[in-house]
Amino acid sequence: MNCNCEKKAAENTLAGPRCSCRARPAGECTCDRAQTENQKPMGATCACGKRADGSCTCEKAPDGGILPDEIDFTTKA
């Protein structure tokens, strides 16, 4: 990670658990959007085992990763 701004001391530090697909662990957020990002999922969610093996609900998945009846929580602002 590289940063050439005045916040580089904080922004170039990696600590704690990592997550994939831009998802954060439940209840954890270290940014100024904590109020919106740490909300519990509401509305329709997917059932356990509903995703196909190896699929991912993120923009890096080959097919976009979005199933039509799922909510993608990885890109919510």
Angle at 60 between CA 54 and CA 62, to 5 degrees: 60
Residue with tokens 């940063």: 3
- Phi, psi of 56, deg, nearest 5: -150, 135
Instruction: Give 36-72 pLDDT, tens digit per residue.
Output: 666 777 766 655 555 555 555 555 555 555 566 666 6
Residue ranges of alpha helices (H) inside 1-77 are: 8-11, 34-37
Model confidence, pTM: 0.17
- Phi, psi of 37, deg, nearest 5: -75, -25
Cβ atoms of 10 and 20 closer than 8 Å: no
